[in-house]
A and B are shown apart, each in its own frame.
Chain A
Amino acid sequence: MLENRKWVIIGLFCIVGLTYLARLFYLQVLDDTYSLGASKNSIKRVVEIPYRGQIYDRNNQLIVYNTPVYDLYVTPKQVRIPDTAAFCRMMAITPSDFDSIMGLAKNYSPVKPSLFLRQLSKEDFARIQDALVDYRGFEPVISSMRTYPAHTMANALGYVSEISKKQLENQDITYYRQGDYIGHNGLEQQYEEQLRGKRGVKFMMQNVRGVNKGSWKNGEFDTLAVAGQNLITGIDVEVQKYADSLMQNKVGAVLAVEPSSGEILVSVSAPTYDPNLLSSRFFSKNYRALIKNPYKPLINRPVMASYRPGSTFKLIQALIAQQQGSLFTNTVYGHGGSPMRCHCHGGNNLRGAVQNSCNPYFYYVFRKFLYFNGEHNTFKASAIGLRQWHDMAEKFGIGGRLGVDLPSELKGNLPTPEYYDKAYHGALRWKFSNVYSLSIGEGELLISPLKLVNLAATIANRGWYITPHYIKGFGKAGVGLPAEYNEHHETGIDYKYYLPVIDGMRGAVAHGTVTPLANIEGIDLCGKTGTSQNSKYGHKYDHSIFIGFAPMNNPKIAVAVFVENAGWGGKAAASVAALVAERYLKRKTEALKLDAQVKASNYLPPAQFLPGAKKPVAPKKDTTQKTPAAKPLMTATKSNPIVVPAVSGN
């Protein structure tokens, strides 16, 4: 009987064995959560960030490049510092800073490298490089920082900084991770995808403490990083810098395009700031200072500011009225019967009216335009006329966004009949007498400088425009240019109707509304002044506007200048425009007297009018001096605490 018990025992062995095998089968073959857990455990993606593309101007001058900087990493476990005091002196940090950084690093991991100091300049690094040999556990990792040798165009370029939390959460395809750099605003944002290149991914094996153990499967699944593409822009840096200097102590915008191609030559937003301010270790400090500046240097005025176009809009009125057939070159209107004041002597034909910017003349032109349809009811006729007016004016690209390659363009406003229906609480409750201020570019019109420079280019081209754009190509001119920037937009106005308007524009500069000094010899500038009413501080602070192009025949440059609060358009704005055009066409400035006069004038609005400012603070101008002269290594750590990032390859 006891003999039989051996079968019980063997049976027990077998049952246990079979149970284990069943369990193993389940774990190893049926359930795959464990094998997924394993790869999560031991295989780490190491991301290689490629160099960001550089940005050039039309003459192959560098506007933005990457400076190598050194991030100093520390591996706490390997650190051997014979003399901490001497080390801190060399690094220009205080012993307490040293302790706190090391504490953070140790907390993160004793065996993984963590950031000790970020963005050491080449000079700083050279200074400590030799001495660093004596201190074990510190390892410099090369990384890069955006640098702007031209110190200009900050607003149009945008800046590169760490990705924000919101952006991280809103990505369609998960590409960025915490701590990644991304272009903000301007071209850096617009062409982010091309500039950033393609990140490489390496799969590394790591042990339980995160120490690397070589590449996984010999790098079979690794992808190489692809460097970002260089962006060639149509900007002419030299003229750009000159325009910057002209706009010192002024608020406004200067835009210039090449009419034949739509390439933007100059893009000034005044006041501006040195773009290097936002690329250094001192980003947050500098950014806060800029945000607080009452003159709002962070607004990119060429595309984000909306002004009433003032008299410059008369050009469109003249063109569409001729096309409609309600205006002829020899039509003459006097001042009588118009509610508008005028400074000219009256009795102009079309050329004269443009030259002298006669308000009553365009009052009548617009009146006739609106009623130029068989409708006798003035309310109905106004509605029909305004619809026609809107549709024709829209062709100049002023109704909506033009489509410039910046992310922040604003729409502006070109009123429609529906707009007034709403404003007057119903259809047919308004007529010409309610909207006549549109005739001289006032009223409900809102237009950005970009659209006005486009208008100048359109007239320079006598009938068509290419949407203004910054890009000229990637790597080489013309490569990768979006198709829309080759497309001609027709205005629907016949060639012949442009000629009298252009004659008037030339006349305006030669002996019309423009200050005589601005009629610079040899550039043959044609233009139209505008004075946008700004009753906030009284007429003394009207905005000065000028749009124009040069030379008259076969124009090479179209310019639009806004100078806020500078009063009469013929002076401040026209002078700047003339000087910019001269510099571009002649590559030098001969009108030295005008140059000096412009540079000396200060149109900054009194700061007490500005919201949020008690004392007038000089705006950050673009300067050629470098960022903070003396640079202690650690000044940034207070506003910019060192946060230990995940290890990323470089």
Chain B
Amino acid sequence: MGWLNVYAAVYSPEDHTSLFDLSTNAGKQLMWIGTTVILIICILVINHTFFDTFAFVFYGFMILMLILVLFIGSNINGSRSWFKFGSFTIQPAEFAKVATALALAKYLDVPGINLTKQKDLLYIAGIIVLPCILILASNETGSTLVFASFAIMLYREGLPGWIPAVGLSAAALFILALVFSKLYIFLGIVVLLLLVILLMPRYNRTLPNLLGIGLVGLMMMGYVAGVDFFVNNVLQKHQRNRIKVLVDPTIDPLGVGWNVTQAKIAIGSGRLQGKGFLEGTQTKFDFVPEQSTDFIFCTIGEEHGFIGSFIVVALFIALLARIVILAEKQRTKFARVYGYCVAGIIFFHVMVNIGMTIGLMPVIGIPLPFFSYGGSSLWSFSILLFIFLKLDSRRAGAMWR
């Protein structure tokens, strides 16, 4: 199958670099790969109806785990989100994504569910938000944000257009509010709304409509003001710093901006062809922090240069496109929804992870699928992908028959 090839091809660079980067991590990673293969075989052997039938059971189990981890998990870097077995640790939040995806698919599979209906929408929101709150409680902001990726699936399944529109404009305003001073943005909003009124057909310029537009404008202004307050008073210090670094990467290159500056130096020093396999000085000598987990992309950028990073990015895009196309071919809604969930999750990870190493995204500690060191993420991505594969194989099998 094309899948396996993509998987293997994408996977191999991590294997080698990690092996030489940090021998202990590389060794562990090999073990993880071994167990992953067993998992994959299990998934492929199990009947596909298993996932269908037990989707909610998985979901319930994961919620239980997330609650449990709050009490008996071990504390790593200030977040209580890991189960510790000997020297190995497992992060249930990673698997919550899979369970949530299955649960969502199962829920949407029920005929008659319509996303335009407010009641269904609320249920779905509940399914998504419940694990979010639990993960947030264990202080893993990065993993929480991943759940936003379900928006892609929901969009495909007929989410009313205004919801992503509001989300996008909120995000845009958020960034604008950080970069420019409030006054300019207020002016911009007023000018924009006046333009909208000007372009409106004359017969639409009724008082309620104008009032509504004015209200929208006021809400936007309020939101912008709120962003300021939010960034300065609600966010934790390290989160605020990450956002500040994104806006102005040159502040404090030795402190707050260290990660991003060093990551950019490492990637930039790869030039067109890279320094050659294992020749990277920046990543090998610990200038880039977390170089085998969150900043793994730096290794690729430095050692394989632009060509290497081009191939990686292209492979990811190809993988995502293929998942989307395959998802469209699914007969059952369950499989299609699930496929879109997979695509959304992987896309979000790739976008944020690579984006932060090249200074386009704030630093959020989420791994790069199939590359980063770490058993939990490898397992969860494999499970995610191969459940979909299993579902897809049924389709292929049925067609063949």
**Residues of A that sit less than 8 Å from B by CB:** 2-3, 5-6, 8-10, 12-14, 16-17, 19-21, 23-25, 27-29, 31-35, 37-39, 41-43, 205-209, 213
Contacts and interface: CB of A to CB of B under 8 A. Distances in A.
B72 interface: no
A207 B281 CA distance: 8
Contacts of A208: 285-287
Nearest to B360: A23
B31 to A, nearest CB: 26
B33 to A, nearest CB: 27
B285 A205 contact: yes
B302 to A, nearest CB: 8
Given A2-B156, A37-B269, A27 B313 contact: no
B320 A37 contact: no
The residue in A14, A24, A35 that gathers the most chain B C-beta atoms within 10 A of its C-beta is A24
Given A9-B343, A29-B271, A24 B285 contact: no
Contact of B267 (A10, A13, A33, A34): A34
B354 interface: yes
Given A13-B347, A207-B287, A41 B282 contact: yes
Interface of B: 152, 155-158, 262, 264-272, 281-282, 284-287, 301-302, 305-306, 309-310, 313-314, 316-317, 320-321, 324-325, 327-328, 340, 343, 347, 351, 354-355, 358-360
A24 B317 contact: no
Contact of B324 (A9, A206, A209): A9
28 contacts: A2-B158, A5-B155, A8-B155, A10-B321, A10-B324, A12-B152, A13-B347, A16-B347, A16-B351, A17-B313, A20-B355, A21-B314, A24-B309, A24-B310, A24-B358, A27-B267, A27-B268, A27-B358, A28-B270, A28-B301, A29-B271, A34-B267, A37-B268, A37-B269, A205-B281, A206-B285, A207-B287, A209-B286
A28 B287 contact: no
A93 B158 CA distance: 81
Given A28-B305, A41-B265, 20 more contacts: A6-B324, A9-B155, A10-B325, A14-B317, A20-B355, A21-B310, A23-B359, A24-B306, A24-B309, A24-B313, A27-B268, A28-B267, A33-B268, A35-B268, A37-B269, A38-B266, A39-B281, A43-B281, A207-B287, A209-B286
A38 B283 CA distance: 10
A13 B317 contact: yes
Contacts of B262: 41
Classify the secondary structure of B's interface with A. helix
Nearest to A23: B358
B287 to A, nearest CB: 5
B314 A38 contact: no
A19 to B, nearest CB: 7
Contact of B156 (A5, A23, A28, A39): A5
A433 B282 CA distance: 84
Contacts of A31: 268
Nearest to B161: A5
B268 A20 contact: no
Of B269, B270, B324, B360, the most chain A CB neighbours within 10 A belong to B269
Contacts of B152: 9, 12
A309 to B, nearest CB: 66
A17 B358 CA distance: 13
Contacts of B316: 17
A43 B280 CA distance: 12
B313 to A, nearest CB: 5
Contacts of A8: 155
A19 B306 CA distance: 14
A14 B318 CA distance: 9
Given A9-B155, A35-B268, A25 B306 contact: yes
B267 A21 contact: no
Contacts of B340: 9
